[in-house]
Copies of this chain bind each other. A is one copy, B any other.
Amino acid sequence: MVIILLYPAFDRHPTSQVVTLDGQNYLVDCGEGTQIQLINYKIRRSKISHIFISHLHGDHYFGLIGLLNTLGLLSHQQEMHVFGPSPLKEIIELQLKVADTQLCFPLQLHTITGPATLVDTDKLTVKCFRTNHRIECYGFSFTEKKKARSLLPEQARSFEIPQSFYDRLKNGEDYTRKDGSLVKNEWVTAPGEPGRRYAFCADTRYDESLIPHIEGFDMIYHETTYLDNLRERAEARFHSTSKQAAEMAVKAGVKKLLIGHFSSKYDTLEEFEQEAREVFPETSLALEGVCYEI
């Protein structure tokens, strides 16, 4: 799983991230000009199957209609699923209608109305959860499905399990021998690697109600619009400080923290990193064009 930042995520500058998994690209937010950034960073637009829009502030979605339009012109084939709060569907449909645009790919516009499982395939689950922002806003969690259990060949042979059953063992099935006796799966396999987990916490105030949705994750992105000496301003404007993002990472017991959405009033970002690392050392700045691998 790789997360690629398409923008430095300065406050009020466009936000967009790409989560890649198994050759598929999942786009999270789509600020104006995202389609240009996709080209700049050589990210295959044809591999985008899902787009998740956190909320309807322009810096998070003004680039969506342009991207969909361009995909139509590029003869995009794959079905495209777009998720976002109301009235995103209405806005996009209106804009397609007035231009008399017939997209050449199936477009599914899904309205998010509350916490939900948005995608559930054999590879991945994507869920959304409410964040605490001025308007209706959602974070997104990406959970890779647990990998198959790994076979312990010696044990399997000792129970005389035929090789043709090994794939079913990896999927967790027990084996019943000809004499009717049961071979429990855990006797002949070891647990597979746990699936990787990433959460995008969107724009939000510091809010511990997010914790259950991101607990123990490998990496989370949390916004840090201000430094902590402006905690009151952050609160008033429905944003967070760098220290608060780090405190969230600690309380949620995550492994890594990515911070972004810095206010443009700051000229440099070192202090954001410093402030967060004092609380949570495994913090990185979300920088444009950088890939963060999990």
Query: A residues near B, CB below 8 A?
Result: 12, 32-33, 35-36, 56-59, 62-63, 65-66, 69-70, 73, 87, 90-91, 94-95, 98-101, 134-135
| Pair A100/B69 contact, Cβ less than 8 Å | no
B63, B73, B98: the one within 8 Å of A12 (CB): B73
B12, B36, B58, B99: the one within 8 Å of A57 (CB): B99
Q: A135: nearest residue on chain B (CB-CB)?
A: B100
| Pair A58/B134 contact, Cβ less than 8 Å | no
Q: A94: nearest residue on chain B (CB-CB)?
A: B91
Q: A31: nearest residue on chain B (CB-CB)?
A: B66
Residues of B within 8 A of A56 (CB): 95, 98-99
| Pair A58/B66 contact, Cβ less than 8 Å | yes
B58, B66, B101: the one within 8 Å of A32 (CB): B66
- Enumerate 20 A-B pairs (CB-CB under 8 Å) in ascending A order: A12-B73, A32-B33, A32-B35, A32-B66, A33-B33, A56-B95, A56-B98, A57-B99, A58-B66, A58-B69, A58-B95, A59-B69, A62-B62, A62-B65, A62-B66, A87-B98, A90-B94, A91-B95, A94-B94, A98-B135
| Candidate in A35, A65, A66, A101 with the most chain B CB atoms within 10 angstroms | A66
Q: How far is the CA of A290 from the CA of B59 in the complex (A)?
A: 29
Copies in the complex: 2
Q: A14: nearest residue on chain B (CB-CB)?
A: B66
Closest CB-CB distance, A125 to chain B, in whole Å? 28
Closest CB-CB distance, A223 to chain B, in whole Å? 17
Q: A69: nearest residue on chain B (CB-CB)?
A: B58
Residues of B within 8 A of A66 (CB): 32, 58, 62
Residues of B within 8 A of A12 (CB): 70, 73
Q: How far is the CA of A57 from the CA of B101 in the complex (A)?
A: 9
Q: How far is the CA of A62 from the CA of B30 in the complex (A)?
A: 13
| Pair B135/A99 contact, Cβ less than 8 Å | yes
Residues of B within 8 A of A63 (CB): 32
Q: How far is the CA of A61 from the CA of B58 in the complex (A)?
A: 15
Residues of B within 8 A of A32 (CB): 32-33, 35, 62-63, 66
Q: Which 5 A-B pairs have the closest CB atoms?
A: A32-B66, A56-B98, A58-B69, A62-B66, A33-B33
Q: How far is the CA of A91 from the CA of B58 in the complex (A)?
A: 13
Q: How far is the CA of A66 from the CA of B36 in the complex (A)?
A: 15
Residues of B within 8 A of A57 (CB): 99
Closest CB-CB distance, A269 to chain B, in whole Å? 20
| Candidate in A12, A62, A90 with the most chain B CB atoms within 10 angstroms | A62
Q: A264: nearest residue on chain B (CB-CB)?
A: B73
B58, B59, B65: the one within 8 Å of A58 (CB): B65
Q: How far is the CA of A196 from the CA of B62 in the complex (A)?
A: 37
Q: How far is the CA of A123 from the CA of B135 in the complex (A)?
A: 43
